[in-house]
Each structure stands twice: as C-alpha cells, then as structure tokens.
C-alpha cells in the first residue's frame, strides 16, 4: 500500500513539474512574441544603423535561419548582414506589420508544444482584427542557444 501511495505521489509531483515547465515555456514564448512584434513595429529612423543596415536589423537575432546551410538551418539566428537572410527578415517583419501589428488588441488564445525534426516547437495562436474581420495566426518558436526564436508564422 505504501508503495502505491509513493508511486502516486511521484506521478503527481512529476505532473506538477511538467505543468510548471509548460507555464514557464509559454510565458517566455509570449515575451519573445512581444519582443519581435515591438521590434518590427517600432523602427527608429533616427538610428544610424537603420539607415546603414536596414529597417529591421534588430529583428534578425530573433528569427530562425531557414536557408541552405545545413549546419545553420533551424539551429541559428538570421544574419542581417547576409543579403538573402536580410530579405527573409524584412519579409517576416512586413508580414507581422501587415497582420497582428495592425491590431493593438490582438489576443493570445492558445499555446501548444510539438516536437518535430527541427526540435520542440512552441506555438502561440493569436486572433486579431484586420479591416473589421477577425483573423487567426500562429507564431511558432524554436528554442535555440537559450532563446526562443521565431521560426514560422501560419
């Protein structure tokens, strides 16, 4: 009987630990989302680097590299100094600014974790209004080198 109680206690404590990690992950992913939304929306045109490098240079370290280099793909952040990667970062920021960033009252309505070949994805489902119509988007992040980086928007 004591063994059963001990086993149930271990299972219960383990489930609490998983829930705590899930909550911690979701909170950190929300922070990462808010960060990338802010960077894309609030470009400081008095910043000399904006004129020299481009409007969204600050976003690159928060966006997953998805290019041809197999050593970096899905394992590294984008490099804004690389013209191809810069175009990808600009495209993502423009997409963000044309969708969720058009509605300051967007809502996070879901969070899920899913393991795929690239690693564990942390996805936030959002609703927002665009031209009077409610839209839905999912922002998916990968944890790379200790940071949650935006890897996909659906």
Number of domains in the chain: 1
Tallying the residues shown for the chain, one arrives at 154
8-53 per-position pLDDT tens digit: 333 343 444 444 456 788 899 999 999 999 999 999 999 999 999 9
65-90 per-position pLDDT tens digit: 999 999 999 999 999 999 999 999 99
Please give the biggest Cα pair distance in the chain: 71
Q: What is the CATH number of the domain that holds 132?
A: 3.10.450
Residue 129 belongs to domain spanning: 2-153
Give the H/E segment covering residue 21: helix 2-41
């Amino acid at each position: 009987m004591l063994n059963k109680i001990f086993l149930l206690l271990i299972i219960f404590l383990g489930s609490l630990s998983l829930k705590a990690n899930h909550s911690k992950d979701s909170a950190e992913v929300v922070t990462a989302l808010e960060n990338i939304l802010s960077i894309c929306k609030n470009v400081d045109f008095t910043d000399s680097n904006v004129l020299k490098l481009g409007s969204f240079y600050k976003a690159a370290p928060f966006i997953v590299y998805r290019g041809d280099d197999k050593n970096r793909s899905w394992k590294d952040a984008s490099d804004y100094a690389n013209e191809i990667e810069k175009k990808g970062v600009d495209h993502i920021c423009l997409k963000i600014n044309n969708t969720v960033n058009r509605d300051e009252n967007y809502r996070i309505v879901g969070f899920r974790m899913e393991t795929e070949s690239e690693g564990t994805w942390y996805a936030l489902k959002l609703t927002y209004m665009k031209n009077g119509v409610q839209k839905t988007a999912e922002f998916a992040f990968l944890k790379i080198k200790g940071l949650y980086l935006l890897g996909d928007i659906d």
